[in-house]
Structure 1
Amino acid sequence: NYLEVLVGYEFEFLEHLHYLNLGNNRIRSINNGTFAGLRSLEVLLLQGNYIIDFPVWNLKANRGLQKIGLTNNLWSCDCRYMVDFKNWLIRQGDIVQNPKTLYCVSNSSGEPGPFVLDTAYPCENFVATSIVQAKIQNDFLQPVLITLGLFFFILVVGVVLAVLRARLHKGVVKKCGLKLFPPEPAAIPKDDDKSIIYDAFISHSDIDTKFVNDAITTELENAEHPYKLILSSRDYETVGNYVGDFIVHSIESSRKTILLVTRNFLDNDWCKFSFKAAHLEALKTYKTRVVVVMCGEVTESDFDTDLMTIVKGAPSLHFEDKAFWNKLYAALPASQPNASAPDCFINETNYVTRNNVPGLTPAHALKSNPLVPTMVLNSNNLKTTTTLPHHHHHHH
């Protein structure tokens, strides 16, 4: 057929398609959502084309794939791309045809480069994004000993005060609860800080996208004073951009960064080099903006050293906590009033992830007090819902 470009709508409404052979065409560009709706796809053949930088790791959404053909393409040798490509091949090598024969092609010379799975490939220590790389280089230009000494002195004093404050707050909450001592909303950055665009950036696993959209985003964006949110699953423009750049920009442009830590987050996305490197570098500067939300059977003991460095001292919430929404609203900056904002909320539903992935599956119902909903995770009761019931209530 000599296809050259897949715009993204070519395979709509083909949910029962099992076999797709696009090999030996002239395909050079594939929209990231082209194969997203093929939920029954088992075989995908893309060999013998001119594909350069299609993010193959997006195919993890097609959970039924059993064979993928990728050989004889012009895969980019750009380090930022190759690191993610290699990590995906290591995890999915059993369904990729001849993974050891996959190699990249130099964008400048057109000459074949190293094999993607080559252990000697020099990209292993490459920092995922240009923004992260620039920031790391600037870190070496710090002032000399006198300034450093003053810095560490202030840091020690700050840590001591933070520890004392955290212990005092924890003791008060444990004895008296939030009803007697409601926390004040987080301070809002100055209005003249033009770099702040969003109220919060929600960082989460791609596998938990439906849960985040239905349970958290819907609640916050339909609050009495709606929050302006940014999410990678919804707002990331993949064409010509790398996920590391998007994460750094989102953290820098948001008043708060909500880390939704689930088993999917720890076992999948946090293991990706570009995803992890961007968080570590950006949050090194903006640690005070972090809010940790744990969901499911996850505790801080499951965190690795890098993640512990980020969340140390940050508010730590549990989605299953009956007072979760009270605590989350207290941890977030007060949103600006918006009289035209719709007053709709979700209070009862079962959640399932895309393609029946057994990820987060909470089924919760609001009690008589709409400000204190009970959230319950139910990993044994998966069911597909095409329409989410909405019930209207007001926050005061």
Structure 2
Amino acid sequence: LTEFEESCENDMLAFVLISFIILTLIASGFAFYYRHHSSIKKWLFVNQLCLGCASEVDVDTDFQYDAFISYSHRDENFIAHELVPKLEAPPQKFRLCIHLRDFVPGMLIETQILNAIATSRRTIVYVTQNFLRSEWTRHEFRLAFEQSLRENRTRLIVILATDVQRLDQLDPQLRVFFSTTTYLRADDEKFWQKLVYAM
């Protein structure tokens, strides 16, 4: 009987000890997740693991801007008086980065472009004839496109203006983008709704 009691006590002690270890591990796991959940979700999303556990919204919380707008300075009137006011107004209240207002005088333009792309969830590219004629704006597009490819995420929103009717007018890299990706046309009657949805 004594051996049986000792055996029961040993089994009970082992059970309590194992239960305590398991509960401690579970509690530690919850505490670790609670403390680092945003980093864990970002890692899962970037590595395309457990896609149901993390969404792009979880990853996009650290950006300073909702979008950087790439455009030719000759199209500044449309950007400053139509596009920006509509996107920054309620109910959307998107935070936008534009050359005219947010670039710092005296800093290298390329550095500011790279910084604007890196600190924005999206890059809106407004493609007009003026855009196509400007080496700088095409360079901005290439930088944003390469960033999107590196991250394997859709970060580009391209708007094709009414003065660009044929895609064969585009340079080869732009043509590849337009042939493989959905873009917005400025003359679409649902243009504004589609743009807000894409944001």
Superposed displacement of residue 190, structure 1:
1.6
- Structure 1 contact 284–310 (Cα < 8 Å) conserved: no
Within a 5 Å distance, the mapping from 1:162-241 to structure 2 comes to: 188-190=56-58, 193-194=61-62, 196-239=63-106, 241=107
* TM-aligned CA distance change 1:282 to 1:301, over 3 Å: same
What residue identity is the alignment partner of 1:199? D
Distance 1:236 1:283 in 2: 22
Cα gap change, 1:255/1:311 in structure 2, threshold over 3 Å: closer, same or farther?
farther
**CA separation in 1, counterparts of 2:72 and 2:120?**
19
Aligned counterpart for 2:188 among listed residues 321, 346, 353:
321
Q: Shift of the alpha carbon at 1:189? A: 3.0
Structure 2 residue identity aligned to 1:284? L
Distance 1:259 1:317 in 2: 10
* Corresponding position of 1:20: none
Kindly, what percent of the aligned residue pairs are identical? 28
Aligned residue among 256, 268, 288 for 2:122:
256
User: Which letter maps to 1:253?
Assistant: T
Work out the CA distance in 2 between the residues paired with 1:208 and 1:300: 20
Secondary structure of 2:154's counterpart equals helix
Q: TM-score, normalised by structure 2?
A: 0.62
The alpha carbon displacement at 1:220 in A equals 0.4
1:151-162 → structure 2 map (5 Å cutoff): none
- More helix by proportion, 1 or 2? 2
Confirm or deny: 8 A CA contact 1:260 1:292 kept in the other structure: yes
Evaluate the alpha carbon distance shift between residue 314 and residue 248 of structure 1 in structure 2; reply closer, same or farther with a 3 A threshold: farther
Question: Is there any run of 5+ residues in structure 1 with no aligned partner, and where?
Answer: 1-153, 155-186, 333-396
What residue number does 1:379 align with? none
- Find the counterpart in structure 2 of residue 282 from structure 1: 147
CA–CA distance in structure 1, aligned partners of residues 60 and 92 of structure 2? 21
Quickly say closer, same or farther: Cα 1:277–1:242, change in 2 above 3 A.
farther
Q: What whole-Å deviation, never above 9, does each CA across 1:317-358 have from its counterpart, x for those lacking one?
A: 1111111111111111xxxxxxxxxxxxxxxxxxxxxxxxxx
Report the equivalent of 2:110: 244
Q: Secondary structure at the match of 2:114?
A: helix
C-alpha spacing 1:271/1:228, structure 2 compared with 1 (3 Å): closer
1:3 aligns with none
Say if 1:200 and 1:258, in contact at 8 Å, map to a contact too. Answer: yes
Q: Which residue among 282, 293, 297 is the counterpart of 2:163?
A: 297
Conservation of the 8 A alpha-carbon contact between 1:245 and 1:278:
no
Work out the CA distance in 2 between the residues paired with 1:256 and 1:296: 22
Amino acid at match of 2:188: D
Q: Secondary structure, in 3 states, of the residue corresponding to 2:57?
A: coil
Code of the aligned partner of 2:130? N
Q: Is the 8 A contact 2:71 2:137 kept in 1?
A: no
Contact between 2:168 and 2:175, CA under 8 Å: does it hold in 1? no
Work out which of the two has the higher radius of gyration on C-alpha atoms and give 1 or 2: 2
Match of 2:134 in 1: 268
- 1:3-45 Cα deviation digits (max 9, x unpaired): xxxxxxxxxxxxxxxxxxxxxxxxxxxxxxxxxxxxxxxxxxx
Q: CA deviation at 1:257?
A: 1.0
Shift of 1:233: 2.4
* Deviation >6 Å, runs of 4+: none
Contact 2:60 2:121 in 1 (8 A): no
Contact kept in structure 1, 2:72 and 2:131, CA below 8 Å = yes
Cα distance in 1 for partners of 2:60, 2:158 equals: 27
The whole-number CA distance in structure 2 between the counterparts of 1:276 and 1:317 is 15
**RMSD of aligned residue pairs (Cα, Å):** 2.7
Equivalent position amino acid for 1:211 in 2: F
Counterpart CA distance in 2 for 1:309 and 1:200 is: 23
When normalised by structure 1's length, the TM-score is 0.33
- Counterpart of 2:12? none
SS at match of 2:58: coil
